[in-house]
Amino acid sequence: MSDIAISVNNVSKMYKLYDNPMDRLKESLGLSKKKKYKEHYALNDVSFQVRQGETVGIIGTNGSGKSTILKIITGVLNPSQGSVNVKGRISALLELGAGFNGEYSGIENVYLNGTMIGFSREEIDAKLQDILDFADIGEFVNQPVKTYSSGMFVRLAFAISINIDPEILIVDEALSVGDVFFQAKCYRKFEEFKEMGKTILFVSHDLSSIGKYCDRVVLLNKGKKLAEGDSKEMVNLYRRVLVNQYDDPDEVQEAVDNDQKEVRAEENHKTLVKSEEKTGKMKETLNLNPEVLEYGSKLAEIDDFAIKDNTGMITNVIEKGQEFSVEMKVDFHEDISEPIFAFTLKDLKGTEIAGTNTMYENTPVKEQKKGETRRITFTQKMSLEAGEYMLCLGCTGYREGDFTVFHRLYDVCNLTVITDKKAVGYFDMFSEVTVK
């Protein structure tokens, strides 16, 4: 008897993109002999299998087809080509609360939603108290859900989906709903499912969670499967995809088969050199913020910059505990006697979390003459906890005795920290623990 819970076989999903609605109407009425649409493949010949009791992650950039493949597996969408076979009852944490009726009370929606995903009234009766306890929204369960806050709405929807004891759990970015206490409860429930040997298909941009929970990972890019394998190896490949250093599945699979770190580092260096030769700028390899805040007199100007990992590869993704560097190239358009170079990392709320400058580090910088260029490199160990951060760069200093901002770039690009070792707060102190 097969132990395959989910089998995805050569699945493609093609959408027709029309320049205007009339072209769609003409084609539907058979009035157009010419093709009026462009073909867009959200998925293109994707195949993989998930064994019973296995936790498999799906990662990829936005638009890579992650949510599309989940919707096809759950029956929300039909594939244009290929087939999907599922053995077991599915509960999907996709668009939470999509089947709720705003006029119904919370309890009525529990029965409505449970019935829609294939459970009998008796099964829902048996799980009702668990659902209500997990959602923890008090007397609001008897009120119409249209009166709920967004947090209460998703708490109830999540509680329904995760407490009806499915054989297969499909999760799409749904473990970070509600407040921090509810999120902790969600992750505990998720870990319980793993311990019970449930089959889990997990999509997330939280690479630390992917590394922690997944037995195997499938990497998608632009609708194609690039590779699948060990979670750490796939996360490393994903880092390269993020900076457009891999597009060809054959090239990616070749990298998967290559276990030698020294060779990978050499490949990174070659790719970096090619990238700089092609673009002329290090920063063009990064995922840049199109809405960067830029200001200053530009008597000195930050012309180029990069984030590099411990192999020298330019990347927006750094592994916690590893050495990394922030580099910038500054052009001087006037004589400046005391320039100060700085970088800062902020969280997504704008709070400054870490950073330094050449003055704090007691790094002497001599007077810079007009026409000169300097490359500044800050090298340090990544101690920040896993998460998303924003990089800010600055060149300031004193001109004729007055403090002057020459050039600042706020939120110029993101920096993603990944880890398989979680800690509390913003920083990991890398504690050593003994128990006697």
Query: What are the residue ranges spanned by the domains of the chain?
Result: 4-237, 283-418
For residue 381, what are the β-bridge partners? 323
| Number of helices and strands in the chain (H, E) | 10, 18
pLDDT of residue 177: 63
- % of the chain beyond a pLDDT of 90: 38
Give me the DSSP letters along 38-69. EEEEEEEEEEEEEETT-EEEEE--TTSSHHHH
- Mean pLDDT across 65-79: 89
pLDDT of residue 16 exceeding 70: yes
Tokens of 210: 């992917």
pLDDT of residue 277 exceeding 60: no
Give me the DSSP letters along 265-330. HHHHHHHHHHHHHHHS-SGGGS-B-TT-EEES--SEEEEEEEEE-TTS-B-SEEETTSEEEEEEEE
- % of the chain beyond a pLDDT of 70: 87
Q: How far apart are CA 343 and CA 330, in angstroms?
A: 13
* Least confident range of 349-353, 368-372, 390-394: 349-353
What pLDDT band is residue 26 in, cutting at 50, 70 and 90? Answer: confident
pLDDT of residue 9: 95
For residue 55, what are the β-bridge partners? 200
CB-based burial, 235-249: b 16+ in 10 Å, e otherwise: bbbbbbbbbebbeee
SS3 percent helix, strand, coil of the chain, rounded to 5, is 30, 35, 35
Residue with the bigger pLDDT between 188 and 254: it is 188
Helix (H) or strand (E) holding 35: none
Q: Which of 31-40, 157-166, 175-184, 218-227 has the highest mean pLDDT?
A: 218-227
Contact between 124 and 114 (Cβ < 8 Å): yes
What pLDDT band is residue 43 in, cutting at 50, 70 and 90? Answer: very high
pLDDT digits (tens, 9 = 90+) for 106-159: 899 899 888 877 778 888 889 899 889 888 888 888 999 889 887 788 788 888
Tokens of 207: 């690479």
What pLDDT band is residue 98 in, cutting at 50, 70 and 90? Answer: low
**Number of residues that this document lists for the chain:** 436
Please return the burial class of 130, using the count of CB atoms within 10 Å of its CB with bins 0-12, 13-18 and 19+.
middle
What pLDDT band is residue 178 in, cutting at 50, 70 and 90? Answer: low
- Mean pLDDT across 26-52: 84
Q: How far apart are CA 234 and CA 204, in angstroms?
A: 13
> CA distances (Å), 293 to each of 84, 234, 408, in order?
47, 33, 8
- Mean pLDDT across 240-264: 55
What pLDDT band is residue 249 in, cutting at 50, 70 and 90? Answer: low
pLDDT of residue 336 exceeding 50: yes
Residue with the bigger pLDDT between 420 and 390: it is 390
Alpha helices in 30-149 (DSSP H): 66-73, 106-116, 121-135
pLDDT of residue 274: 45
The label of the residue with tokens 């997944």 reads 214
Contact between 287 and 242 (Cβ < 8 Å): yes
- Mean pLDDT across 198-219: 84
CATH superfamily of 4-237: P-loop containing nucleotide triphosphate hydrolases (3.40.50.300)
Please return the burial class of 207, using the count of CB atoms within 10 Å of its CB with bins 0-12, 13-18 and 19+.
buried
- Residue 235, classed as helix, strand or coil, is helix
pLDDT of residue 371: 95
Contact between 385 and 332 (Cβ < 8 Å): no
- Mean pLDDT across 282-297: 90
pLDDT of residue 422: 74
For residue 391, what are the β-bridge partners? 345, 413
pLDDT of residue 247 exceeding 80: no
pTM of the entire predicted model = 0.64
How much is the CA Rg of the chain, to the nearest whole Å? 26
pLDDT of residue 4 exceeding 60: yes
* Least confident range of 167-181, 241-255, 321-335, 416-430: 241-255
- Residue 348, classed as helix, strand or coil, is coil
pLDDT of residue 262 exceeding 50: no
Q: Write down the mean pLDDT value for the chain.
A: 84
> CA distances (Å), 343 to each of 83, 332, 352, in order?
50, 18, 11
pLDDT of residue 176: 62
> CA angle at residue 148 from 136 to 142, to 5 degrees?
65
Q: What is the CATH number of domain 283-418?
A: 2.70.50.60
pLDDT of residue 344: 96
Q: How far apart are CA 254 and CA 252, in angstroms?
A: 5
Contact between 367 and 336 (Cβ < 8 Å): yes
Contact between 276 and 253 (Cβ < 8 Å): no
pLDDT of residue 279 exceeding 80: no
* Least confident range of 57-61, 186-190, 319-323, 398-402: 186-190
